[in-house]
A and B are shown apart, each in its own frame.
Chain A
């Protein structure tokens, strides 16, 4: 299939960027979206142009590295799918596809489609941990966890930290990411000692990093490749209310 892609090209962090149109011909409908860009990059390299820089790693939807806004939707049109798992058969011959980086002050563009997501690391560092004795790993059944809680914690733990929630949020808020971490740790017995300080510190880190405020618009959950439920934000709010009322 033959398509056109309009891609955000930005040579460096402080350089001005613009959308540049490229023709991509003879792409297999079975190619993934990233493979389509690989093919485009090969032609760019052969022509002596700078290839399009983009983040990717596992290409099987579990690492959270790929990050592109395709036609205005983070990770593209397919629900609960990372852009590396999006295939060209979802598009039609002759389509013009817009590809942009995550847009957020807290995720500055490094080059083209690559953004710096270390703001998420700052949020994790602020409270995304538990206190556990080092040494031999405890037996897996040493601390009983109700099945319901384990399942809910696991659902939250599937968050791969890709940042699509921020990219999609009309407020540029990272609330769904933070809420997933709060739920993932707060549902487990091992996460209880820091439960109060975690929510206060992680929200502070989120605000300090320059993310926007949550207005429960629900965009985040619709683009989340892991389907993290919006209800976890309610859990974060509840934890926060309880934490500040104790301090």
Chain B
């Protein structure tokens, strides 16, 4: 859970940083997308870096889901008779929404790839330049898509708020002072990441970009 999650968090930050390129200019954003395909050349053939990264991500996601499913199955087996009276778990909202939050994030990632990577469900289509897919995808009349995007990004934020701290604990973080620090770092990183991701659709919606 911790190791695969850490890899995915690293990717999320790299992806978010790339997104911000759109504020430099739409052509710069398209150049960045092209650069991703040229990364590693001539050592690697065209787009190989991207595919290696995609395979790596799929493995990390697979391991992450496998570990989560194993934990969920064990939890179900460990309490076959439920409590008649069970108040909300006293831990954080983030901690108790890890499982369903994770499912929502997976569904979002599928939509996100169809929308902005493949362009299948994007008004600009698959043959368009990446910046066109962003600008047309988050156009004001597609507000429901943007809303889904915002909710999913916030879900990622909650997921990481518990996830980053929990990963630190799994790797052996064990002091009370360190626990406070790890929780603060998890919250800060989550807020920064959510802000980075939300800035793009908000900029398109308000006409700052496009």
Residues of A near any B CB (own CB < 8 A): 6, 8, 19, 69, 71-73, 98, 100, 103-106, 170-173, 210-213, 215-219, 222, 229-235, 237-238, 241
Contacts and interface: CB of A to CB of B under 8 A. Distances in A.
A232 B179 CA distance: 11
Given A104-B78, A170-B89, 17 more contacts: A69-B83, A98-B85, A100-B84, A100-B85, A105-B80, A171-B71, A172-B78, A213-B70, A213-B74, A213-B75, A215-B98, A216-B95, A219-B90, A230-B179, A231-B179, A234-B173, A237-B171
Contacts of A106: 78
Interface string B78-97: 11111111110111100110
Given A222-B90, A231-B174, A211 B78 contact: yes
Interface stretch (B33-41, B131-139, B162-170): B162-170
A170 B75 contact: yes
A8 B89 CA distance: 21
B75 to A, nearest CB: 4
28 contacts: A8-B84, A69-B83, A72-B85, A72-B87, A73-B87, A100-B83, A105-B79, A105-B80, A106-B78, A171-B75, A172-B78, A173-B75, A173-B78, A210-B77, A211-B78, A212-B78, A216-B95, A216-B170, A217-B96, A222-B91, A230-B169, A231-B179, A234-B172, A234-B173, A234-B179, A235-B174, A238-B172, A241-B172
Interface in B149-178: 162, 165-166, 168-176, 178
B74 A212 contact: yes
Contact of A172 (B75, B98, B172): B75
Interface in B6-39: none
B174 A232 contact: yes
Contacts of B170: 216, 237
B166 A210 contact: no
Interface of B: 70-71, 74-75, 77-87, 89-92, 95-96, 98, 162, 165-166, 168-176, 178-179
A84 to B, nearest CB: 20
B80 A234 contact: no
Contacts of B173: 231, 234
A72 to B, nearest CB: 4
A71 B87 contact: yes
A133 B172 CA distance: 32
Given A104-B78, A232-B174, A212 B71 contact: yes
